[in-house]
Structure 1
Amino acid sequence: MAIEGNVVLADGRNISFAEYGSPDGHPVLYFHGAPSSRLEPLLIGDDVFVRLGLRIIAPDRPGMGRSNFQPHRGFSDWPGDVTALADSLGLHKFSILGNSGGGVYVAACAARIPERLHSAVIVSGAWRMDQSHLLTHLPLVMRMTWLLAKHAPALLRLLLKNMSASVGSDLAQMKDILPQSDYDALERHGRYEAFSYVLREAMRQGSKGPAWDMRLYVHPLDVRLQDIRMPLHVFHGEKDSNVPIAMVREALTDIPSARLTAYQHEAHLSTLCNRFDDIAKALLKG
């Protein structure tokens, strides 16, 4: 079971988080996907984190789970929240791990607070999702989602609300939609049930926070990727249909310190689930 916590920030907002793994392990702040929540590490499991000697601390981003919404925020606001959370937990140095929509939040911290970081790791990370020459690589449903995020945010909120209501239905209905490796990953160990729980928690306060979070990916990033000097470890599946690897390779041209590890047979979720031992090595090594 996760240990839940809450921190009041200087502006009066609450940021909620959940802890997993070994209390005495190497501290890792885990940045969840979009939309998602502090419960996302349930997809991996406490036993894995304990075995690897990790203390995973996963905060809800503003407007998701139990964390208060933050008006007008961008990626560049996140390092301040992270620093405040780490200070409240007595962490001077720590690692950061961002999965999927948590990717640019890792990049923001690597650019803004490198002195606080032992290591920075991105798994299946999204970057700019509105580049027309790359959108053609996305499945139609994903392409439409990002177009709504940019041009019709009210419809995006409705889409997210409907998605939250329908999640948890029979996984078999998604067999023709998901890459085989993602389907196989969700089929194991009750993971689809956990996945459904994670997404419903993301929408606890409604769709406003998750929609705002997704919109950040279809506008110019307010973080200069060129400012990242520390090593940035990036893990990505070549079968990823949510964030095609061509998008990743293009984004990483702006980050000379980035190291890409690509897996030929992994996809969006399966990279996190199946390759976590490799991910942990990067977190621990720095």
Structure 2
Amino acid sequence: MSDHQSEPNQDVSEALQAVVAKAYAAVAEPQSFVPLLNDLIEADAQMGGIGEAADMHFANAEAIFDKVYPLDEADYSSMLTHLETSLECDLAIDSKLRVITVNERVFETGVEAESFAPEWLFDPARIKVEQARLRKAAVGDDRIFLRLFTDPEDEAGRWFSAYRVPYSGVHIIALQAVRLRWDEKSAEAFQRAFALTETEVALTKHLVRGGSTREFAELRGRSVGTVRNQLKALQRKLAINSKEQLLLLYAGFIHSLDPPHEGDMEFEHECNFLYADPQGRLIAWEEHGDPKGKPVLFFHALEGPLFTPQVSEAARAAGLRIIAPWRPFYGETTGEKQGPQSPLLFADRLTDFLDHLGVDKCVALGTQAGTPFLAAFAQKHPERLHRAIAAGPFLPIVDSDDYRFLTTRQRTHFKISRVAPAFARVYMRAMLASMGTGEFYKFVEDYYDSCSRESATVQRPEVVRNFRKAANYVLPRGKMGPGDTMLNWSAQWGGLLEGLGDRLTLLLGDEDANTPTEFARLSAKRFGLSEPVIIEDAGSFLIEDQPEAVFEAVRSAFA
């Protein structure tokens, strides 16, 4: 070794050396990276800035994670956002019908953990039969299908699938609300099973997708009376008495074709839409809402563009077609360059993509870490936009005084991304490893420490399901997508907001922990944007918390 070269740790403070040692040791337990954040901040303060003193070691640790925890071999189906959310269902009960967990978005009142399931849950005429079926399900392998009422005033009820799952050494019953969807393969089996005509199938499909008999009549050029007679004939054929029973029969049929396997809750995801531009670059995308609705280009958060059923239904009800491309390096979407140039490069690719879809102009909607990509598209291609809307956005930290608006833990995360990007990368890699080891919840709890609204949202079963699906789709293809998100989230990207003026609307939840109202107003003034619109009873997951309000704002932007 020449005289001017030094041993790797020679110029590193003792505090930083301790962080480096712990970073290597953390390979055995990825979750142990969480407390290292504070250690690194202390080392940075002692040294007056750590610079690149330990970058080589952090890069080495990241490479070791790649070898020890290969992303393409991990199973993300058991990923948890909270230790107590291992039961991902809408209602879990034991064989004595005592409630273990409950999704309060489905059962808003009257169903409480550690209490017995109330009698009003069941059809009064079938209560003993249905309770007996549930008890039997706790010891059998078959999925059953039954109707439950979601509150004492509910007259229609909802259908649920019930199946046995292991819990604390015993088997209990998990119940999942049936979300109606039209699946062509299952529909063919439905048609064969009941000998339906093409018209009867078309009518069923229209009703399953939320349409009315009047709309079907208009589409077919028939009178409403004719369509109602067709529906009555279909009901007689199926031995049912109403449109609602037709929908429930269809739901029960498709669920009977797809029985669950213990430990397999359908957390795989396959993207059905893929566009290749003339240069061979790929954009994978999702579609939500109304396929014939007004076009909305969606820029997703870190976790991807999958919508929960409630959000997708709100988009459909608002008459919106949500076109949601996976961002660069996510899944099958190819990328060109990570970092600050990524949003601008992707913006230029989206014009051909919209042309491919036959979309001349749209409203652009972004959320959280998707905001830099939203702003880049609004900057580069204003001619393709009616308006850009940032719902629950991340906004750039311009100077040190801006940190006062953030919570303590988020301030720590943000600072480290800037002062020690090499450590931030290995921290991200440890977090990705934890998704496959069952310890991811420790990273989530750390980031959302003292953020009760956000913590509650990421624990919702339907949100956790989408996290798992996105992880199973994205991570086996590599870590560059989340890495690109981190690089752009922590950069000073305020230049992308300058000059947008009233072409960009900021929508904020009144309890947003990432972008508090005061910081949003300061940012709007700083960049010459319109006054932010504040939505009550919502946090930083604004689209999840208040989808109807968000999509009403989007719908109004087309006027």
Q: Deviations over 1:210-266 (max 9, x none)?
A: 223322233342744332145322111232222333332222114445241123542
SS at match of 1:226: coil
Residue number in structure 1 paired with 2:78: none
Query: Residues 225-264 of structure 1 correspond to what in structure 2 (within 5 A)?
Result: 225-263=497-535
Deviates more, 1:242-251 or 1:100-109: 242-251
Deviation at 1:7, TM superposition (A): 1.6
Gaps of 5+ in 1: none
Shift in CA distance, 201/146, structure 1 to aligned 2, threshold 3 Å: farther
- In the alignment, is residue 32 of structure 1 matched against residue 296 of structure 2? no
Deviation at 1:202, TM superposition (A): 4.5
TM-score (norm 1): 0.84
Residue number in structure 2 paired with 1:153: 421
Higher relative contact order at CA 8 Å, sep ≥6: structure 1 or structure 2?
1
Cα distance in 1 between the residues matched to 2:500 and 2:335:
28
Q: Deviations over 1:67-86 (max 9, x none)?
A: 11322534322321221211
Deviates more, 1:227-236 or 1:161-170: 161-170
Deviation at 1:8, TM superposition (A): 1.9
Cα distance in 2 between the residues matched to 1:96 and 1:110:
8
SS at match of 1:190: helix
Residue number in structure 1 paired with 2:478: 206
Q: Decide whether the 8 Å contact of 1:3 with 1:20 is kept in 2.
A: no
Letter in 2 for 1:194: N
Cα distance in 2 between the residues matched to 1:202 and 1:254:
36
Deviation at 1:63, TM superposition (A): 1.2
Q: Decide whether the 8 Å contact of 1:21 with 1:56 is kept in 2.
A: yes
Q: Decide whether the 8 Å contact of 1:111 with 1:229 is kept in 2.
A: no
Cα distance in 2 between the residues matched to 1:170 and 1:79:
32
Q: Decide whether the 8 Å contact of 2:284 with 2:325 is kept in 1.
A: yes
Identity among equivalent positions (%) equals 23
- In the alignment, is residue 184 of structure 1 matched against residue 451 of structure 2? no
SS at match of 2:464: helix
Greater C-alpha Rg: 2
Q: Decide whether the 8 Å contact of 1:22 with 1:49 is kept in 2.
A: yes
Cα distance in 1 between the residues matched to 2:546 and 2:368:
14
Shift in CA distance, 193/171, structure 1 to aligned 2, threshold 3 Å: farther
Of 75, 91, 97 in structure 1, the residue corresponding to residue 343 of structure 2 is 75
Gaps of 5+ in 2: 1-180, 182-269
Q: Decide whether the 8 Å contact of 1:98 with 1:106 is kept in 2.
A: yes
Deviates more, 1:234-243 or 1:253-262: 253-262
Cα distance in 2 between the residues matched to 1:132 and 1:109:
28
Query: Residues 112-191 of structure 1 correspond to what in structure 2 (within 5 A)?
Result: 112-129=380-397, 131-167=399-435, 174=445, 177=449, 179-188=451-460, 190-191=462-463
TM-score (norm 2): 0.46
Letter in 1 for 2:293: G
Q: Decide whether the 8 Å contact of 2:396 with 2:491 is kept in 1.
A: yes
Q: Decide whether the 8 Å contact of 2:318 with 2:555 is kept in 1.
A: no
Letter in 2 for 1:282: A
Letter in 1 for 2:330: M
Query: Residues 46-61 of structure 1 correspond to what in structure 2 (within 5 A)?
Result: 46-61=312-327
SS at match of 2:377: helix
Shift in CA distance, 12/247, structure 1 to aligned 2, threshold 3 Å: farther
Residue number in structure 2 paired with 1:103: 371
Deviates more, 1:117-126 or 1:188-197: 188-197
Cα distance in 2 between the residues matched to 1:218 and 1:187:
25
Deviation at 1:282, TM superposition (A): 1.7
Q: Decide whether the 8 Å contact of 1:76 with 1:223 is kept in 2.
A: no
Deviates more, 1:22-31 or 1:142-151: 142-151
SS at match of 2:288: strand
Cα distance in 2 between the residues matched to 1:150 and 1:130:
12
Q: Decide whether the 8 Å contact of 2:389 with 2:504 is kept in 1.
A: yes
Cα distance in 2 between the residues matched to 1:107 and 1:221:
9
Q: Deviations over 1:180-209 (max 9, x none)?
A: 222333444522232343355453433333
Q: Decide whether the 8 Å contact of 2:328 with 2:346 is kept in 1.
A: no
Deviation at 1:25, TM superposition (A): 0.9
SS at match of 2:534: strand
Deviation at 1:64, TM superposition (A): 1.8
- CA-atom RMSD in angstroms: 2.9
Cα distance in 1 between the residues matched to 2:519 and 2:477:
31
Q: Decide whether the 8 Å contact of 2:378 with 2:385 is kept in 1.
A: yes
Shift in CA distance, 170/63, structure 1 to aligned 2, threshold 3 Å: closer
How many residue pairs align between the two structures?
283
Deviation at 1:153, TM superposition (A): 2.8
Deviates more, 1:162-171 or 1:73-82: 162-171
Letter in 2 for 1:37: G
Shift in CA distance, 212/183, structure 1 to aligned 2, threshold 3 Å: closer
Letter in 1 for 2:365: L
Deviation at 1:112, TM superposition (A): 2.2
Shift in CA distance, 274/17, structure 1 to aligned 2, threshold 3 Å: same
Q: Deviations over 1:26-59 (max 9, x none)?
A: 11111011x23232x2375432222221111111
Q: Decide whether the 8 Å contact of 1:171 with 1:192 is kept in 2.
A: no
Shift in CA distance, 170/3, structure 1 to aligned 2, threshold 3 Å: closer
Cα distance in 1 between the residues matched to 2:477 and 2:422:
16
Cα distance in 2 between the residues matched to 1:10 and 1:151:
40
